Structure 1
C-alpha cells in the first residue's frame, strides 16, 4: 500500500538527457503529435514549483509522460530551480515515471508499508514529520553581531545565519558549516541559547530551530551569492532596535547577553552509551554555572 502522500523532488539540472529527446523526432515516439500543455503548479519564493496531482487532469501514463517532458523543458528554459511533485494515492502510477528523472528524498529509494494487524492502528511516526535547523548568533570582539538578509524574501529583514541540519550531522557542526557557507566567517561554539518549536511549516511538517551563541574566529565577509542578498557586522544596539529584525530574534539576542553577563553556559556533551543489545553515541545538554 502506498502512503497517502508521496513527495518527489526534481532537479532541473539532472534531466537534460530526457529533454534532449524532445528535440529529436526519431527518438520521441510522439513527435508527430501535439504535446500537452505544461503542468500548472504553484510557484514558491525560491523560484521553484509544486505540482499537486489531485489538481491536474491526466488521462494515462503516456499523457503524463509527455506532459512531464514538455513541462521540464519549459521550466529549464525559464531557469526554474526545484520542482516538487505531490502525488496523491489515486495517481500512484506517476511514481515510477517521476523516479526516472528525480532525486528521491530518501536517497535512491521510496519506503512504503502495509500494516497487517486488524485490531489496532499503526503506531509508526509519519516520515519526515519534523525538520531540524540551526542558527548562529555570532559575536566579534567589537560588540557586533553577524546579520544576513537572504534572497527570495518578499519583505525586508535582518536575520541570523543558519539553515537545516543535514542527516548524520551534529548541531554544532551544522552551525559552523552554515555560517561559513552563507557569510565566509569562521566561528566557534560557545553556548546553546534557546530553540523554537513550531508547526505547519514546509509540507505541513513541524520545525525545530536551535539557536547557538558563537564566537567569530575571522571577520572578513564573503557572502554566498546564491543565498544571501546582504551580510554585515551590526552593532548589537542597532540590531535589537532595527525595524527589520523579528521580535523572536530580539529575544534571542537579549537572552544571549543575559547568559554572558551571568557566565552561564549551556553546552553539548558527546558520549558513548551502552545498552544490553546496542551502543549509541549521544549528544546531550550540559549546563555550567
Structure 2
C-alpha cells in the first residue's frame, strides 16, 4: 500500500523537472501537483485484539476511490478472520458518514471534538461486542506537605466549594498518568513543583459526570520549590496548616464531599502514628508492558518511625 505513495512522490518529482524544462507555466504545475497529492490510498493497521484500524489521514477525497478501496479492504480482512474494523472519521470526511452507516453497516462508537469513531463487526463466528468508550472518569489531587510538617490547603474562587478549604487537583488528561496529573494540577494552581511520595487514598463513585463511574486518587506530595504563584482564575486563597493543628482545623470546617474530611482525618492519624511525611523516597512505580500498553502500578511506601 505504501508503494503507491512512494510512486506518487517519484512521479511528482519527475513531472516537476519536465515542467521546468519545457517552460510551462507554474499554474499548470500547481494544478498537476494538487491532483496527485489528493490521490490517497486507504491504509490500515492490525491491532492486538485482531481488529483493524483504518488510518484517517489516508481516506481518499474522491468518493468513488474511497468506496472501492474500502470494499476491498473489508473483504480481504474479513477473509483473514479479523474481528472488526475501526475508522476515525475526521470532520473533513463527515461527508462519508451517511454512506458508512446506512450502506456499509458501520456504527458510531463515540464522538469527540473533531472526529467520530466508527466501527463495523466482521467476525460472524463471534457475538458482537465493543468495549464502551469512557467507562470511567479519573481525577487526581495533591496533599502537599513541606519540611515543617505543614499541609497546603487552597480555597477555590468559583463553584460549590468557593468558601471551603480543600486540596489542589483536577481531571486526568487523556494520555496522562494519574501521578503526573496531580503534579501538574498543583503546579498550575499554586506554582509549586512537587514529586509524589505516597498514595494516600482512592475514592470510587458509581455516579460521576456524564453518568459514568468516577475514580479519584489523592497523593502525598513533597514540594521541590518554595515559590508560590496562585492561579488567579481558579483560586481565591491558600494557606499552610500545621499537621499538629489539623484536628482543630477539621472541626472548624464544613465539607462538601466526605473525601476532604476523611483525608484530613487520615493525615492527622498518620501524623500521630509517626508516619514519615518527608521520607526521601517517592511512590514506587513499576512499569510493565503488555500488548504495547504501558501500565503504572503504585505501591505505597508506608514507612513509620
TM-score category, normalised to shorter length = 0.5 to 0.7
**Farther-moved stretch of structure 1 (213-222 vs 110-119):** 110-119
Q: State the partner residue of 1:281.
A: 294
What is the aligned counterpart of 1:241 among 234, 238, 251?
A: 251
What is the aligned counterpart of 2:117 among 111, 116, 132?
A: 111
Contact 1:194 1:212 (8 Å CA) reproduced:
yes
Q: State the partner residue of 1:272.
A: 288
1:146 aligns with 2:156: no
Q: Give 1:230 deviation, angstroms.
A: 1.9
Structure 1's unaligned 5+ residue stretches are: 1-95, 98-103
Q: Give aligned pairs, total.
A: 186
What is the aligned counterpart of 2:220 among 213, 221, 226?
A: 213
What is the aligned counterpart of 1:222 among 229, 233, 236?
A: 229
Structure-2 change in CA distance of 1:269 and 1:154 (3 Å)? closer
Where do 1:1-289 residues align within 5 Å? 106=112, 108-114=114-120, 122-154=128-160, 156-236=163-243, 237=246, 238-245=248-255, 246-259=257-270, 261-262=274-275, 267-273=283-289, 278-288=291-301
Structure 2's unaligned 5+ residue stretches are: 1-93, 96-109
Structure-2 change in CA distance of 1:255 and 1:105 (3 Å)? farther
Q: State the partner residue of 1:93.
A: none
**Farther-moved stretch of structure 1 (138-147 vs 121-130):** 121-130
Task: Give me the whole-angstrom Cα distance separating, in 2, the residues matched to 1:162 and 1:110.
Answer: 30
Contact 1:187 1:218 (8 Å CA) reproduced:
yes
Contact 2:203 2:259 (8 Å CA) reproduced:
no
TM-score (norm 2): 0.52
Contact 1:190 1:214 (8 Å CA) reproduced:
yes
- Point out which structure has higher relative CO (alpha carbons under 8 A, 6+ apart): 1
Q: State the partner residue of 1:25.
A: none
Contact 1:193 1:266 (8 Å CA) reproduced:
no
Contact 1:131 1:207 (8 Å CA) reproduced:
yes
Deviation string 1:61-100 (CA, Å, 9 cap, x unpaired) is xxxxxxxxxxxxxxxxxxxxxxxxxxxxxxxxxxx69xxx
RMSD: 3.2
Task: Give me the whole-angstrom Cα distance separating, in 2, the residues matched to 1:137 and 1:105.
Answer: 35
Q: Give 1:241 deviation, angstroms.
A: 2.6
Task: Give me the whole-angstrom Cα distance separating, in 1, the residues matched to 2:149 and 2:293.
Answer: 40
Contact 2:145 2:222 (8 Å CA) reproduced:
yes
